């Protein structure tokens, strides 16, 4: 298995046009992300020949180099060291001959054809990737707490007060994350699109404030208001997300529940409806970044700190109240309705699972995160995530079939041996870029295998047991099992997910063994 070392980093620097061509250096869980001054200087074919590089994606303003789990962070650190020392010995002259320049220009024009959409979704990685460790940690703690509560507290007459306190403590992190998630998203989104992060956080806070005076409704009236919604199903099965459950029950009256009062009940006589939540926050932050950059062009440098953010907030606050919140509310409701009904339809779930690897291949899968957030707010769990996770299971089954079909001692067997364990753990990029995608047929059969698992989960949902991830984001593969939950408890959801994975493994294996391994390179 290839290792990340300085020699490999030096080869990458040479292949992307030298250290002077690298403007930014970052990473996500599996990819080294480089911002280049001149993208046409990057030689993709040379990059792919470097041992350890599993694939290359050319985004709008990022060159993404797939290295695999546990390697991207180390590569980023070594790259930072190399760039800091600015070792010119690893640089090469940019192409000078007429043929090389023509070839480079052709490559640049071709990459621009698809770079706009790729680049837009690549920015979502910079918004949500830093939040993923927190999503996983909070979701894991919540999963443990939910299982303990359902088996040792609910319905048990005598239970330990220490256990109850421990469960409440374990839950508090997910409650804190989901309550103030919009602030984090707003900050990262405005930064990702070229603005000042704190402005995005302030705009996001407008969606979290309450616009009904706290004194206008007393505690007794509040209890009477929400009492019809406090059913045993909500108190027990959805105890981790009671507010979302009440919101679904009383969507028009939720604003009357006391919270942190904004000090204003309307905007110059216009009704304020902050229901748009994460969709509205993203729109406000992205547009706010563009407004900020526009204003900065006309503000003298000496007054930039004083005026730019001030003017930006005044403009964007009004735009948010008058336009973005209403639009965001419609988009939020529409997105929730669409995907919730797709998820409970076996055909729709099969299509989603079957096509998801294509989104991963182009690096735009982070664009699903706003949908995840909308589903959690609407349902209390992320019903889309386990369906999309089936795609990775199809890859695992296909890889096992190729391993059996390939001759002993082959390079393919060596590649699969190094990538199959991460595949079971839900990290599918090594299998995609190193095994199935280069051979095309196995990639297609792997997608079909994932679709079979998606069909099963959609069928179970249609029959009355919708289930999903207890967090916005989490791991996939077998380690996602403790994260599953449903209105009927965590254990049934875990069982459905486990059966779905088994179906994808078997389907991916059978279809690839008989149809996806013929006339392909098995060496």
Classify 31 as helix, strand or coil: strand
Pairing label, strands 22-27, 31-36: antiparallel
Catalytic residue, chosen from 28, 229, 249, 447, is 28
Phi, psi of 206 (to 5 degrees): -60, -30
Instruction: Note the pLDDT of residue 363.
Output: 61
101 pLDDT tier (thresholds 50, 70, 90): very low
Residue 278 has pLDDT above 70, yes or no: yes
Q: How far apart are the first and last CA of the chain?
A: 17
Decide which of 351 and 136 is more confident.
351
Instruction: Note the pLDDT of residue 237.
Output: 43
70 pLDDT tier (thresholds 50, 70, 90): low
Instruction: Note the pLDDT of residue 255.
Output: 42
**pLDDT tens readout for residues 5-60:** 899 999 999 999 998 889 888 887 778 889 888 888 899 889 988 988 888 887 65
| Nearest one of 104, 79, 99, 76 to 90, comparing CA atoms | 79
Structure tokens that stand for 246 in this block? 């009440």
Distance CA 126, CA 193 (A): 10
DSSP 114-137: HHHHHHHHHHHHHHHGGGHHHHHH
Average pLDDT, the chain: 81
Residue 476: CA atoms inside 13 Å, Cβ hemisphere, count? 24
What integer is the mean pLDDT of 78-97?
63
| Nearest one of 88, 78, 74 to 14, comparing CA atoms | 88
Contact call for residues 488 and 237 (beta carbons, < 8 A): yes
Instruction: Note the pLDDT of residue 504.
Output: 96
Distance CA 479, CA 431 (A): 18
Q: How much of the chain, in percent, has pLDDT values that exceed 70?
A: 80
Strands (E) in 144-268, as ranges, are: 266-267
Phi, psi of 37 (to 5 degrees): -70, -40
Residue 522 has pLDDT above 80, yes or no: yes
Instruction: Note the pLDDT of residue 81.
Output: 87
Residue 97 has pLDDT above 50, yes or no: no
Phi, psi of 65 (to 5 degrees): -110, 115
**pLDDT tens readout for residues 210-249:** 887 655 544 444 555 555 555 544 444 444 445 555 555 5
Residue owning tokens 């182009």: 362
Domains of the chain in start order, with CATH, are 6-94 (3.30.1360.60), 131-335 (no CATH), 343-516 (no CATH)
86 pLDDT tier (thresholds 50, 70, 90): low
Helix (H) or strand (E) holding 371, with range, is helix 369-379
Helix%, strand%, coil% for the chain, nearest 5: 70, 5, 25
Contacts of 360 by beta carbon, 8 Å cutoff, 6+ apart: 391, 428, 429, 432
**pLDDT tens readout for residues 351-378:** 999 999 887 776 667 668 778 887 887 7
| Nearest one of 281, 288, 265 to 213, comparing CA atoms | 265
Residue 295 has pLDDT above 50, yes or no: yes
- Tell me if residue 28 is catalytic: yes
């Amino acid at each position: 298995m290839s290792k990340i070392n300085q020699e490999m980093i030096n080869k990458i620097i040479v292949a992307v046009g030298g250290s002077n061509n690298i403007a930014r250096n970052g990473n996500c869980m599996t990819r080294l992300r480089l911002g280049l001054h001149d993208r046409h200087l990057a030689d993709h074919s040379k990059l792919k020949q470097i041992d350890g590089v599993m694939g290359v994606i050319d985004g709008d303003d990022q060159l993404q180099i797939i290295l695999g789990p546990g390697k991207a962070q180390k590569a980023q650190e070594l790259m930072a060291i190399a760039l800091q020392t600015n070792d010119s010995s690893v640089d090469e002259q940019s192409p000078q001959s007429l043929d090389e320049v023509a070839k480079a220009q052709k490559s640049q024009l071709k990459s621009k054809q698809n770079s706009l959409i790729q680049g837009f979704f690549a920015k979502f990685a910079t918004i949500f990737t830093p939040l993923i460790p927190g999503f996983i940690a909070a979701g894991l703690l919540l999963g443990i707490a939910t299982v303990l509560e359902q088996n040792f507290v609910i319905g048990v007459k005598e239970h330990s007060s220490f256990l109850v306190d421990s469960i409440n403590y374990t839950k508090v992190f997910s409650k804190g994350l989901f309550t103030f998630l919009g602030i984090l998203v707003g900050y990262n989104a405005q930064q990702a699109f070229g603005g000042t992060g704190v402005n995005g956080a302030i705009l996001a806070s407008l969606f979290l404030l309450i616009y009904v005076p706290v004194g206008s409704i007393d505690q007794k009236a509040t209890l009477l208001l929400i009492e019809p919604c406090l059913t045993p199903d909500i108190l027990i099965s959805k105890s981790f997300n009671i507010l979302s459950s009440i919101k679904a029950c009383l969507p028009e009256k939720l604003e009357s529940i006391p919270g942190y009062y904004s000090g204003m009940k309307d905007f110059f006589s216009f009704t304020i409806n902050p229901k748009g939540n994460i969709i509205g926050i993203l729109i406000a932050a992205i547009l706010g970044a563009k407004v900020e950059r526009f204003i900065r062009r006309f503000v003298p440098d000496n007054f930039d700190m004083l005026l730019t953010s001030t003017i930006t907030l005044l403009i964007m606050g009004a735009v948010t109240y008058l336009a973005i919140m209403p639009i965001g509310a419609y988009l939020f409701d529409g997105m929730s309705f669409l995907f919730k009904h797709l998820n409970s339809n076996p055909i729709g779930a099969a299509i989603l699972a079957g096509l998801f690897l294509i989104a991963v291949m182009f690096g735009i899968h982070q664009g699903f995160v706003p949908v995840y957030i909308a589903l959690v707010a609407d349902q209390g769990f992320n019903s889309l995530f386990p369906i999309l996770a089936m795609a990775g299971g199809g890859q695992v089954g296909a890889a096992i079939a190729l391993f059996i079909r390939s001759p002993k001692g082959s390079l393919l067997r060596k590649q699969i041996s190094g990538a199959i364990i991460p595949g079971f753990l839900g990290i599918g990029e090594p299998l995609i870029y190193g095994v199935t995608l280069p051979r095309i047929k196995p990639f297609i059969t792997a997608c079909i295998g994932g679709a079979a698992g998606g069909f099963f989960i959609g069928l179970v949902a249609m029959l009355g047991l919708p289930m999903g991830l207890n967090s916005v984001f989490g791991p996939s593969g077998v380690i996602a099992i403790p994260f599953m939950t449903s209105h009927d408890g965590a254990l049934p959801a875990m069982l459905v997910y486990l059966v779905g994975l088994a179906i994808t493994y078997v389907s991916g294996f059978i279809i690839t063994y008989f149809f996806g391994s013929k006339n392909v390179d098995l060496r």
